[in-house]
Structure 1
Amino acid sequence: MSLLSGRGGLLRRHDFRHLWAADLASQLGTRLSFVAMPLLAVLTLDASTFQVALLRTAETAAALLLGLVAGAWVDRLRCRPVLIAADLARLVLLGSVPVAAVLGVLGLAQLYVVAFLAGCATVFFDTAHTTYLPRLVGRDHLVEGNSRLAANTSVAAVAGTATAGYLVQALTAPFAVALDAVSYLWSALWLRTIRTVEPAPVRVARRHLGYEIAAGVRFVWREPILRAIAANTGTVLFCQAANDAIMVVFLVRRIHLAPGTIGLLGTVGLVGALASASLAGRIAARIGTARTLLLAGIVNGAGFLLYPLTGGGPRLGWYVAAGFLAAFSIVTRHVMAVTARQQLCPAHLLGRVSATMELMTWGVMPLGALVGGLAGTYLGLRPTLVVTGVLIAAASLWLVCSPLRTLRDLPAGGSGG
């Protein structure tokens, strides 16, 4: 269904509107911490390049350790209670950072612990969120629903990135992290107001958790489109994590930018994400969902190849162009990839398939961040950005060599019927 199907589309529905509002609050807060946490480490705790990279590793390590288990548990449970519990856990964890800062006891060790445990909550939240959407809106509305939620990510990227930079510069990084903690409370309150009674998952004969996890892994491996998407996204996110792990250090210590300028640059570049969220449905309707996914993968590589050209003065324009192209293609690819997962997978396996895809994609990010920190330290910051850009461009071959190249639209049902 097009994003423009009916005035207001899914936002006219009370329950989706409240899910959308909860997601927007959470995304805004998360974007604040995404910028504020490394700035806190660099500017307040004088962290090295490798120590900042370890912070990114801690944030994403939970996907590697807990992803498959989270998927199996989500398939056994109603999703909304999982979402609320994850929000409240992140409220407490992120809230401990400004408290420790006020008491004068904040250190890198606490940042690592908070980042890891909040990442654990995020794994359960993200898996339940992907599984919950088809239960709430039905499979006929998945492109619109995913696009609306992707728009939240884009708005948060545009507004949150700039806000974080200015908040850190004017009011310190711990204050920005405190706002992130409050955003999770706001998200939980919105989720509590959803009226639809979520049906209990279909109960089957209780099997060993390992057997249930293996069923999700087998489904992804046997479905060629999902396998190609997982390989492409995993390669991209590994390199993107390496890129992200050193980007703040690169902008502060090589380009000599202030936090407010970093936030402004992020805002200008990430306008591309907002544009993508608005246009993804239209693009897919015109050229097809499969072709849109394939094109997004190619454009993404082009965007990341521009980051190493960033310099002072007019050369900051390369960062803006890179951010626009990369963000536009990342959001577009995400909408189509999640829609493919939800369409191809049977309902009773969706949590496990989502967790498997998350493991094969987000699970590589801690390793990517670690490699990025090491490469940035020993190879150099700009050369590392060159290498990650080349590898992200090459990752589109996973999609080009898959059945997607012969399709206009993503199939519904797939081998999982």
Structure 2
Amino acid sequence: MARPRLPALLVRSGRPGPDHPAQITRANGQLYATYAAAGVVGPVLAGLLSGAVGPAAALAVDAGTFALSALGLFFVRLRVPAGSSSAPATRAGLAPRSDLLVGVRFLWRHPVLRTLTILLSFLTFLTIGLTDVFIYHVKHELGRSDSAVGHVLAAAAGGTIAAALLVAPARRRLGFGPCWIGAYALGGLAVAGAGLTRDVPALALLVAGYAFGAGMAGICSLSLRQQVTPAPLLGRVTSAFWTLHSALGPLGAAVLTGAVARYGTAPVCLAAGLGCVAVAALATATPVRSPHPGPG
């Protein structure tokens, strides 16, 4: 497949091209950091605007930002790789179910992606309801204000931003497997401790640690999937990946929040956190442990 001239020059000069693993991981980290920063700055600006001109005007400005974003999409131009002109023809007539099955088959045939999908199914079950659990812990068990909830969630965004900034050098130094496994082990330990603490600053630090681990593991997983999946299949593989590993999410959220209502935050967070650590330990005996997974 022919490559554009610029990446070839970068490779010859010793600098990684845009499809190099380090560049893909760094780009995904920047996207994650931007999203997390917007998650903090946006509500702050919304609150200030609502206080200044009222909630109706704030909602109107919010709607305008969506329209502006939609307009901006018209100026996005995607580069079609050379030699991929036949890709649309291979998709002609495929039903959505067939598209999903194509992605599932690719995931199943790749040892690392197959194992990741299975492990993430359990991790999603254990963690998808944690934001609600943290809010409940602050508001109802610690009796703190909405401001304290905001501080804890802001700390979580800070953990995600830190992960986004550090993931590229960490993966370059340690490799995929150690980064992914270590990130979820760290996150699990943070969750286990979060339910036990009665101090909001300590809780914020632990929640930031969990967000750091989840963010680093998520960026590593996303980047690996982009690197090992052929471009014509990437959309279908991504769809299958998210469909499969998110399937247990609604059940997990119901079980987690129901257990907190019955038993309290401490034992539930301890069980969820140790469950994450157990999944990370199990991953060390699977192909996920590889520092540099190949195309399958």
Normalising by structure 2, we get a TM-score of 0.79
Shift of 1:373: 2.8
Residue in 2 that maps onto 1:99 = none
Residue in 2 that maps onto 1:211 = 98
Shift of 1:207: 3.9
SS, match of residue 128 in structure 2: helix
Residue in 1 that maps onto 2:113 = 226
Matched, 1:382 2:266: yes
Residue in 2 that maps onto 1:373 = 257
Once residues 208 and 130 of structure 2 are traced to their aligned partners in structure 1, the CA distance between those partners, rounded to angstroms, is 16
Distance 1:251 1:293, change over 3 A: same
Distance 1:197 1:284, change over 3 A: closer
SS, match of residue 71 in structure 2: helix
Equivalent pair of 2:37/2:161 in contact (CA under 8 Å): yes
Matched, 1:409 2:284: no
Residue in 2 that maps onto 1:188 = 70
Kindly report which structure 2 residues correspond to 1:335-374, keeping only aligned pairs within 5 A, or say none.
Answer: 335-374=219-258
Once residues 283 and 65 of structure 2 are traced to their aligned partners in structure 1, the CA distance between those partners, rounded to angstroms, is 36
How many corresponding residue pairs? Answer: 273
Residue in 1 that maps onto 2:41 = 159
Residue 202 (structure 1) aligned to one of 63, 88, 107: 88
Kindly report which structure 2 residues correspond to 1:131-280, keeping only aligned pairs within 5 A, or say none.
Answer: 138=19, 141-160=23-42, 163=44, 181-196=63-78, 201-204=87-90, 206-280=93-167
Equivalent pair of 2:116/2:288 in contact (CA under 8 Å): no
Distance 1:345 1:367, change over 3 A: same
Q: What residue ranges of structure 2 are gaps of 5+ in the alignment?
A: 1-17
Once residues 59 and 203 of structure 2 are traced to their aligned partners in structure 1, the CA distance between those partners, rounded to angstroms, is 26
SS, match of residue 249 in structure 1: helix
Equivalent pair of 2:181/2:281 in contact (CA under 8 Å): no
Shift of 1:381: 3.6
Once residues 241 and 174 of structure 1 are traced to their aligned partners in structure 2, the CA distance between those partners, rounded to angstroms, is 32
CA RMSD of aligned residues (A): 3.1
Letter in 2 for 1:302: L
Equivalent pair of 1:270/1:323 in contact (CA under 8 Å): no
SS, match of residue 396 in structure 1: helix
SS, match of residue 292 in structure 2: coil
Equivalent pair of 2:176/2:220 in contact (CA under 8 Å): yes
Shift of 1:261: 1.9
Shift of 1:203: 1.3
Equivalent pair of 2:193/2:269 in contact (CA under 8 Å): no
Shift of 1:254: 1.6
Distance 1:180 1:252, change over 3 A: farther
Q: What residue ranges of structure 1 are gaps of 5+ in the alignment?
A: 1-136
Q: Which has the larger radius of gyration?
A: 2
Q: Percent identity?
A: 23
Equivalent pair of 1:220/1:226 in contact (CA under 8 Å): yes
Letter in 2 for 1:190: G
Once residues 186 and 24 of structure 2 are traced to their aligned partners in structure 1, the CA distance between those partners, rounded to angstroms, is 23
